């Protein structure tokens, strides 16, 4: 009798697999913005496809996922476990007000060497950027030339939707996803026009000043049933009207701001300090960056958008309200300086002042000579593939399980979003396990 009860308990605790539609046909990955990140992402996928090189840094392609107990020794690659679209099935597209195509974008930003671009140059050149919905008011340092000549914002949204449909038909795509790889827009707060879908649509028709180009892309994507992930700190997928729209249309959204470079380091180190109950007095972060992104962020109104996104991280990880003795008095400063000689090869310094037993101070210094787009490109791939999976799995609204990739993640409910990279990783993998009908791994078994 006991045995039957135990068996029933075990059966009922195993999650029911979701009914996920197969990843058949082509997946179109559209990037508003065809600059350093987008072109590096495209080039890496084309190279992996042509030469079979491993897509380094991509969790969806390279990470294994443990299933069941440790003794079972079941640990497939994520891409073999979850029904993700294959790299061969991806078609690329996008919009840009400056770059004509992916090859020109890659050569201009100078991230990749000619020896990597030459073998894929004709394919890259064939990925032509569509004319953008762009307004210099939001990105003062850029002069857009390849811009739709349409003044009314509602008409701009309709034009983007027409672009999406032509891309879908011309490329024979079964499904599409959109990942924002465009510039960081000037700082703004949400306003009345962002409250509801109806208010936003009226605002589009009235050319409301508070509606930015990136918001028009999100609206067009969701109305076209295209999942949207926001790689910049812009206010877009995190607006009430967009959350409402994603839920009513049954389309996933995720945001915001790719977690690369300095913030990646922060979300690696801060959870470790907290796990060992070491105190933090201050964290000073400064960067030099010489690419177009750095130039855009040199404008104070655009830097403020980025600063807000970067500053939130420590507070949520360290929970100063719960740990006032350790984290109640932290000076957190973030600076970005535009320094052209470095190009895309950012250098980020962190001076971290910590304290331990009996209050004695200690210091940590980090000098991270990273390559921004090299860190961001695999995130674009993973977000695109996982957002497509979520859509086929019938998910809509905020995809909190993808916080792993994002600097200022959106939460589904009222609670603060999780910022600790390792908790985010667990959530990502457990979500995949549950969707596929496997039990979550809690590491609670003894031994």
Ligand X SMILES: NC(=O)c1ccc[n+]([C@@H]2O[C@H](COP(=O)([O-])OP(=O)(O)OC[C@H]3O[C@@H](n4cnc5c(N)ncnc54)[C@H](O)[C@@H]3O)[C@@H](O)[C@H]2O)c1
Q: Where on the chain is the footprint of ligand X (CB under 6 A)? A: 32-37, 95-99, 109, 132-134, 139, 142, 181-184, 213, 231-232, 257-258, 260-261, 291-293, 296, 372-373, 375-376
In angstroms, give the least distance from the CB of 31 to ligand X: 8
Residue 338's SS3 state is strand
Beta strand segments in 129-276, E? 173-180, 228-230, 252-255
Q: Which is nearer to ligand X, 220 or 232 (CB)?
A: 232
- What are 301's two structure tokens? 């109104």
- What are 213's two structure tokens? 């180009």
**Residue number with the smallest Cβ distance to ligand X:** 35
In this structure, the strands spanning 361-369 and 347-355 are antiparallel
Contact in structure between 13 and 439 (CB atoms under 8 Å): yes
In angstroms, give the least distance from the CB of 206 to ligand X: 20
Q: For residue 72, how far is the Cα from the chain centroid?
A: 33
| Helix (H), strand (E) at residue 189 | none
In angstroms, give the least distance from the CB of 20 to ligand X: 29
- What are 109's two structure tokens? 């930003």
Q: Which is nearer to ligand X, 167 or 435 (CB)?
A: 167
Q: Which is nearer to ligand X, 274 or 306 (CB)?
A: 306
Q: Which is nearer to ligand X, 42 or 354 (CB)?
A: 42
In angstroms, give the least distance from the CB of 372 to ligand X: 4
Q: Which is nearer to ligand X, 32 or 279 (CB)?
A: 32
Q: Which is nearer to ligand X, 32 or 252 (CB)?
A: 32
Q: Which is nearer to ligand X, 108 or 425 (CB)?
A: 108
In angstroms, give the least distance from the CB of 81 to ligand X: 28
User: In terms of residues, how long is the chain?
Assistant: 447
In angstroms, give the least distance from the CB of 111 to ligand X: 9
Q: Which is nearer to ligand X, 218 or 428 (CB)?
A: 218
- What are 264's two structure tokens? 């990646």
In angstroms, give the least distance from the CB of 210 to ligand X: 16
């Amino acid at each position: 009798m006991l045995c039957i009860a135990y068996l029933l308990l075990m059966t009922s605790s195993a999650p029911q697999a979701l009914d996920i539609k197969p990843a058949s046909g082509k997946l179109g990955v559209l990037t508003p913005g065809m600059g350093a990140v987008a072109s590096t992402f495209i080039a890496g996928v084309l190279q992996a496809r042509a030469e079979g090189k491993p897509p380094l840094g991509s969790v969806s392609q390279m990470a294994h996922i443990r299933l069941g107990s440790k003794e079972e020794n079941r640990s497939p690659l994520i891409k073999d476990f979850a029904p993700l679209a294959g790299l061969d099935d991806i078609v690329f597209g996008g919009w840009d007000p400056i770059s004509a195509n992916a090859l020109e974008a890659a050569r201009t930003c100078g991230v990749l060497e000619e020896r990597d671009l030459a073998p894929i140059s004709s394919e890259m050149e064939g990925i032509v950027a569509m004319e953008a919905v762009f307004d210099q008011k939001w990105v003062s340092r850029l002069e857009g030339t390849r811009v739709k000549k349409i003044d009314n914002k509602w008409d701009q949204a309709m034009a983007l939707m027409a672009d999406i449909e032509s891309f879908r038909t011309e490329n024979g795509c079964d499904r599409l996803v959109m990942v924002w790889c465009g510039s960081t827009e000037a700082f703004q707060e949400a306003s009345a026009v962002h409250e509801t879908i109806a208010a936003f649509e009226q605002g589009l028709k009235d050319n409301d000043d508070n509606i930015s180009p990136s918001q028009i892309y999100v609206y067009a994507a969701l109305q076209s049933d295209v999942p949207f992930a926001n790689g910049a700190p812009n206010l877009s997928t995190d607006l009430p009207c967009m959350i409402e729209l994603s839920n009513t249309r049954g389309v996933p959204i995720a945001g915001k701001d790719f977690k690369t470079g300095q913030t990646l380091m922060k979300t690696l180190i801060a959870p470790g300090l907290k796990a060992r109950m070491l105190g933090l007095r201050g964290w000073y972060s400064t960067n030099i960056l010489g690419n177009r992104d750095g130039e855009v962020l040199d404008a104070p109104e655009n830097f403020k958008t980025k600063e807000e996104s970067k500053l939130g991280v420590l507070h949520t990880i360290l929970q100063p309200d719960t740990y006032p003795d350790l984290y109640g008095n932290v000076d957190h400063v973030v600076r970005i300086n535009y320094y052209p000689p470095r190009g895309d090869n950012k250098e980020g310094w962190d001076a971290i002042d910590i304290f331990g037993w009996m209050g004695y101070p200690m210091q940590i210094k980090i000098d991270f000579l990273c390559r921004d787009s090299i860190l961001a490109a695999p995130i674009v791939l993973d977000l695109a593939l996982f957002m497509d999976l979520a859509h086929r799995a019938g998910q809509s609204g905020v995809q909190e399980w993808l916080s792993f990739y994002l600097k200022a993640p959106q939460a589904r409910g009222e609670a603060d979003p999780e910022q600790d990279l390792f908790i985010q990783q667990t959530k990502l993998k457990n979500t995949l396990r549950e969707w596929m009908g496997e039990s979550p791994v809690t590491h609670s078994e003894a031994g």
